[in-house]
Amino acid sequence: MSSKWTLADVPSQAGKRYLITGGNSGIGYYAALELARRGAVVVLACRDKARAEAAARQLTTESGGGVAEVIELDLASLDSVKRVAGELVARGVAFDALINNAGVMAPPKRQETKDGFELQFGTNVLGHFALTCKLMPVVKERVVTLASIAHKRGRIAFEDLQSKASYNPMRAYQQSKLADLMFAFELERKLRAAGSPVASIAVHPGVARTNLFKIGSSRGLAKVAENVLQTSLGVLFGSGPDGAIPTVFAATAPAAQGGQYYGPQGFQEMRGGDVGVAFVSDAAKDVAAQKRLWDVCAELTRVDLA
């Protein structure tokens, strides 16, 4: 695949339908915008319905009349995930691709999901795991899962997946993104074994200025530091629109291959207006760990592929 692929290469998306978690802001929004501009129907699956509806209206305007729908989905609640997925499957409306985009990044204090899981692992990993497994009957072509260059420093702490013994914000985030990448690889293996036409593809956005860096709990000097960080990221690294390019590639390009991991091709994969094959850490390549992680996720969520 040429590393020169850009948004200009996206084919018409007329007649296609995409579900994007966390599509109301950041990379998810920009990916949805590019798909809608080319004729796709995009479904924004988001926790905050009001914000998602506002984003859908903005997307329709920016895309010149693109179609955006909204589904209220809380990935930090397995009840919400299972209910929403069940309703979508019952409706029988297929999606050309499911884009597992939503994420939580490094809250300073340990928090838990409604099911008692550490927030980042529960949302970034378990929520998407359950959603993907439950939605497979209505996914036609691809599952795109967002990982991160942060996975390079990640370690799957099977002995303390929920960070109860020790919580470090970035370490927990790195673990969750490593887990997302391993999930995407194991999903591809299972889909091929089952003879499925669906491909599992992983991507990362580089380092883009998005709401992941806005944790919403900062005050005083910490708030000033947060604002400086966001401004610096916008100057030194990639923008939200650039960060969405690998996602759009994985969702639409005929050259995107199942079992691959794609990202921007700029310095240290941190930015760039194109996309190519990304670096995969040794930990992410561990097939035995991928299988073990899958089994743990299935046990914790009580969900698995049919």
Tell me the catalytic residues: 173
Whole-number Å distance between alpha carbons of 2 and 65: 32
CA distance 163 to 130: 20
Q: How does strand 261-263 pair with strand 276-277?
A: antiparallel
Q: Which of 73, 69, 71, 91 lies closest to 82 in space, CA to CA?
A: 73
What end-to-end distance do the CA atoms of the chain give, in Å?
33
- Which residue do the tokens 């995009």 mark? 42
Q: Which residue, chain included where needed, has tokens 């895309």?
A: 63
Kindly state the DSSP code that residue 174 receives in the 8-state scheme: H
Rg for the chain, CA atoms, rounded: 18
What is residue 210's DSSP assignment?
S
Phi, psi of 133 (to 5 degrees): -60, -40
In 73-198, beta strands by DSSP E: 95-100, 139-146
Q: How far apart are CA 182 and CA 185, in angstroms?
A: 5
Residue-wise DSSP of 216-272: S---HHHHHHHHHHHHHHHHHSB-HHHHTHHHHHHHH-TT--TT-EEE--SGGGS--
